């Protein structure tokens, strides 16, 4: 079985071709391409939907040809076409979904609409293809949630962010500090040699299974003028703190640790409550080495197995969408080509 998938939920254009073998030896990634738009959006400090959709239209045809050539297959050999149907930016989602639907119709093959979050959720199992029961945490720019995974398609939401996602908090605080976009890698880089205990920043909602990072962001905003020794607004404070490298390192480390503490503590608590033996992590923020290290250490200390998606699978990509599509197709799932995208698509239906 061979799947061609597209991922265009936000500002990454991605196409991949995945070939399955059997349940014991996993699947083979024949080709995977991602076109980043970071440079286009960096000057705006965030993703501009119209710019993103325009670039998807430019990149997608080129990437389709490239993966087809690298996989050394003809489109007639593809058994199904898949695309991310949500959540994400409507103007971006419609590009990938429309292309996949057109290919499915043109070649008379099945079409699969895949939830972007399910792609992340299943990505730690990409190398072996066998989904084990686990407590999973998805941490990205737009989402922070913990999920009980009983099996493919059998998910229970444990907790989710009530305001900013962890990745969004990284981006906003990086902007306050005058750092680049995306903010997560920038803060992580400056935090490496910093003192994470220097600034006492809040850990919100300690008694809830949900997450909140808006208060942490606000705390940094109001802390900035005080620590640079002047009553300036945050933009001026950013210029001041840039001139004090040690202060910047310590603030980044303290901010990063505040997020890591919350994610690790609540994930371990969820694993204990739901009596699982495995904890998984995925999503763009899971590339953060300190988060991975501390969660891995906590799992080892508490007796849990730990499994993370490989770093190249953590950011938006089509390989994880192809993998989810292959598992779902094997289980008998297929979508109607008339199915619409859903920018607010939930991983677990409410109620």
In terms of C-beta density within 10 A (0-12 exposed, 13-18 middle, 19 or more buried), how is residue 233 classed?
exposed
- Are 76 and 138 found together in one domain? no
Q: Has residue 173 been placed in a domain? A: yes
Residues 195 and 264 in one domain: yes
In this structure, the answer to whether residues 12 and 88 fall within a common structural domain is yes
Would you tell me how many other CB atoms lie within 10 Å of the CB of residue 105? Answer: 12
> Is there a single domain that holds both residue 155 and residue 171?
yes
> Using CA atoms in the order 307, 312, 318, 324, what is the torsion angle rounded to 10 degrees?
-10
Q: Is residue 75 part of a domain?
A: yes
Please report whether residue 257 resides in a domain: yes
d(CA 60, CA 78): 17
Residue 336 inside a domain? The answer is: no
pTM: 0.93
Q: Which of the residues in the chain have pLDDT under 50?
A: 24
Check if the beta carbon of residue 143 is closer than 8 Å to that of residue 9.
no
Report if residue 343 sits inside a domain: no
Asked whether residue 344 is assigned to any structural domain, the reply reads no
Same domain, 191 and 203: yes
User: What is the C-alpha separation between 344 and 87, in angstroms, rounded?
Assistant: 5
* Claim to verify: residue 317 and residue 203 sit in the same structural domain: no
What's the CATH code of the domain at 260? 3.30.420.40
Is the domain of 156 the same as that of 122?
A: no
174, 269: one domain: yes
Residue 347 lies in a domain: no
- Interval 48-105: pLDDT, tens: 888 889 999 999 999 999 999 999 999 999 999 999 999 999 999 999 999 999 999 9
Residue 197 lies inside a defined structural domain of this protein: yes
Q: How many domains does one find in the chain?
A: 2
The pLDDT value given to residue 236: 59
Verify that 318 and 300 share a domain, yes or no. no
Question: What confidence score (pLDDT) does residue 24 get?
Answer: 47
Residue 325 CA: distances (Å) to CA of 64, 92, 133, 221, 254: 18, 19, 19, 42, 40
Whether 111 and 190 share a structural domain: no
Q: Does residue 320 share a domain with residue 305?
A: no
| Percent with pLDDT over 90 in the chain | 82
The residue range of the domain holding 213 is 134-309
Please check whether residues 288 and 200 belong to one and the same domain: yes
């Amino acid at each position: 079985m061979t799947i061609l998938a597209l991922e265009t939920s936000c500002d990454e254009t991605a196409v991949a071709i995945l070939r399955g073998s059997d349940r014991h030896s996993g699947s083979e990634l024949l080709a995977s391409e991602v076109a980043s738009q970071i440079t286009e959006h960096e000057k705006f400090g965030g993703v501009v939907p119209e710019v993103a959709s325009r670039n998807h239209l430019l990149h997608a045809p080129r990437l389709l040809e490239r993966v087809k050539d690298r996989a050394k297959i003809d489109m007639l050999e593809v058994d199904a076409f898949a695309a991310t149907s949500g959540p994400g930016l409507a103007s971006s989602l419609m590009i990938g979904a429309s292309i996949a639907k057109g290919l499915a119709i043109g070649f008379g093959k099945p079409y699969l609409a895949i939830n972007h979050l399910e792609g992340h959720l299943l990505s730690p199992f990409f190398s072996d293809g066998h989904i084990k029961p686990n407590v999973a945490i998805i941490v990205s720019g737009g989402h922070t949630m913990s999920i009980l995974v009983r099996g493919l398609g059998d998910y229970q939401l444990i907790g989710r962010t009530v305001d900013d996602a962890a990745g969004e908090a990284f981006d906003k605080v990086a902007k306050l500090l005058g750092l680049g976009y995306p903010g997560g890698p920038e803060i992580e880089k400056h935090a490496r040699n910093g003192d994470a205990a220097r600034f006492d920043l809040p850990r919100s909602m300690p008694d809830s299974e949900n997450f909140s990072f808006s208060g942490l962001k606000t705390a940094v905003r109001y802390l900035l003028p005080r620590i640079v020794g002047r009553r300036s607004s945050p933009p001026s404070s950013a210029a001041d703190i840039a001139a004090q490298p040690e202060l910047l390192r310590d603030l980044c480390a303290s901010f990063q640790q505040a997020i890591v503490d919350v994610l690790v503590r609540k994930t371990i608590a969820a694993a204990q409550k739901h009596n699982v033996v495995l904890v998984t992590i995925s999503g763009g923020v899971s590339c953060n080495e300190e988060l991975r290290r501390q969660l891995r250490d906590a799992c080892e200390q508490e007796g849990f197995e730990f499994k993370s998606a490989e770093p190249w699978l953590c950011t938006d990509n089509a390989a994880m969408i192809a993998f989810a599509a292959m598992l779902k197709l094997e289980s008998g799932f297929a979508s109607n080509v008339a199915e619409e995208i859903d920018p607010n698509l939930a991983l677990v239906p409410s109620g």
